[in-house]
């Protein structure tokens, strides 16, 4: 039975712009407008805007909200004050990654979590199951729209002042009240604008009128892959752990949180395999699921619009994880050479 796809408040705007719409995590989303490559380059050289209203927003509030989240999220929320944000993981008992997300500290006892669309329900369920007296968890996703405005000129085009990464503030942009989050998923400067769903069209039109290029999920994926940001469901999953994924820096192993004990052990013993970034040495495009000789597997792969070669990430045995190690990838039966590189694969000018 066909499942009805959800639509963001900007659906009709995307269709009017000639976007190619595709199903993604239960939503009908624009994968591209003009094309993945020109959109990717717009973000690397100027500014692009992505409708990411499919992402989930969960609010956690109450006198014990901080305590609840400290016990469930891997990073240390004591390190951030109201007005600051933090990249963190929701972990299970075996140290696996239920989701990766950004926690925004709205107040001493009030957090907003922006989570992956595909994990919104799992995250909400997990938080509800672990809720304690004095903490209230609410799914407020449907109230909001989220626009990611990214690129070296994004902030200037929006008429905003520069601000530190992982901070946020309220601002009125083109008459719309927004929460301006200095976060993103492209490796470029920029921000993510959270507004009420009913204001989304006005904000979108205003941002486009400022000369920002509409960009689809296709470019979002190639941008994040060049920047080596993991994609949950591909590179990190409930079966993979943060240490093997190179996300040990998001885990405050000196505090107690779900799975911390397992993660301490993996860290002490050293992970058996590691998530590495690689660049193809031969003409070929790696894809998710391809085998890497020696027991590894590609978890994300595509063509780099900036480097114009195949790039990817994947898990390899720890002995193959050092930069410059040569890998052989099975590209539909043909062995193709790749080389492990330091992350990120491509670093923006800004």
Closer residue to another protein (CB): 74 or 222: 222
CA angle 165, 238, 30 (to 5 degrees): 60
Closer residue to another protein (CB): 86 or 302: 302
Nearest-angstrom CA–CA distance, 151 and 156: 10
Closest listed residue to residue 154, CA positions, set 250, 58, 44, 46: 46
Positive or negative, the Cα torsion across 53, 70, 257, 72? negative
Check binding of 218 to another protein (CB under 8 A): yes
CA end-to-end distance (rounded Å), the chain? 47
Neighbours of 211 (CB within 10 A): 10
| Count, residues near another protein per rule CB under 8 A | 18
Among the listed residues 11, 19, 32, 227, the single contact to another protein using CB under 8 A: 32
Closer residue to another protein (CB): 205 or 282: 282
Closer residue to another protein (CB): 128 or 337: 337
Report the site for another protein in 118-137 (rule: CB under 8 A). none
Neighbours of 346 (CB within 10 A): 20
Tell me the closest approach of the beta carbon of residue 23 to another protein, in angstroms: 13
Among the listed residues 118, 178, 181, 222, the single contact to another protein using CB under 8 A: 222
Tell me the closest approach of the beta carbon of residue 310 to another protein, in angstroms: 8
Report the site for another protein in 252-311 (rule: CB under 8 A). 283-285, 287, 302-303, 305, 308, 310
Nearest-angstrom CA–CA distance, 157 and 97: 36
Please give the helix or strand (H or E) that residue 50 lies within, else none.
strand 48-51
Closer residue to another protein (CB): 37 or 122: 37
Q: How far is CA 281 from CA 327, 338, 343, in A?
A: 9, 5, 17
Report the site for another protein in 33-62 (rule: CB under 8 A). 35-37
Radius of gyration of the chain (CA): 20
Summarize as ranges the residues that interact with another protein (CB under 8 A).
31-32, 35-37, 218, 222, 283-285, 287, 302-303, 305, 308, 310, 332, 334
């Amino acid at each position: 039975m066909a499942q009805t796809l959800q639509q963001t408040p900007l659906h009709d705007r995307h269709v009017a712009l000639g976007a190619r719409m595709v199903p993604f995590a239960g939503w009908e989303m624009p994968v591209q407008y003009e094309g993945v490559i020109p959109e990717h380059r717009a973000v690397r050289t100027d500014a692009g805007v992505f409708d990411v209203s499919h992402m989930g927003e969960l609010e956690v509030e109450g006198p014990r909200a901080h305590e609840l989240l400290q016990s469930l999220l891997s990073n240390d929320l004591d390190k951030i004050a109201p007005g600051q944000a933090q990249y963190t993981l929701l972990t299970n008992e075996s140290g696996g990654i239920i989701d990766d997300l950004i926690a925004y500290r709205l107040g001493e006892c009030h957090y907003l979590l922006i989570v992956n669309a595909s994990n919104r329900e799992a995250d909400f369920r997990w938080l509800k199951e672990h809720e304690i007296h004095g903490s209230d968890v609410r799914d407020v996703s449907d109230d909001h729209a989220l626009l990611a405005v990214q690129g070296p000129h994004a902030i200037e085009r929006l008429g905003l002042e520069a601000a530190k990464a992982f901070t946020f503030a309220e601002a009125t942009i083109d008459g719309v009240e927004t929460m301006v989050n200095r976060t993103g998923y492209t490796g470029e400067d920029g921000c993510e604008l959270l507004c009420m769903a009913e204001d989304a069209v006005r904000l979108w039109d205003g941002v486009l009128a400022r000369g920002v290029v509409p960009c689809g999920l296709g470019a979002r994926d190639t941008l994040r892959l060049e920047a080596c940001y993991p994609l949950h469901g591909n590179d990190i999953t409930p079966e993979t752990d943060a240490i093997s994924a190179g996300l040990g820096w998001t885990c405050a192993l000196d505090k107690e949180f779900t799975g911390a004990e397992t993660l301490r052990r993996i860290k002490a013993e050293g992970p058996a395999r590691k998530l590495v970034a690689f660049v193809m040495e031969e003409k070929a495009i790696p894809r998710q699921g391809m085998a890497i000789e020696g027991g590894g597997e590609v978890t994300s792969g595509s063509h780099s619009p900036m480097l114009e070669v195949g790039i990817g990430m994947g898990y390899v045995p720890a002995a193959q994880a050092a930069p410059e190690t040569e890998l052989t990838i099975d590209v539909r039966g043909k062995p193709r050479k790749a080389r492990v590189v330091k992350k990120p694969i491509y670093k923006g000018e800004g």
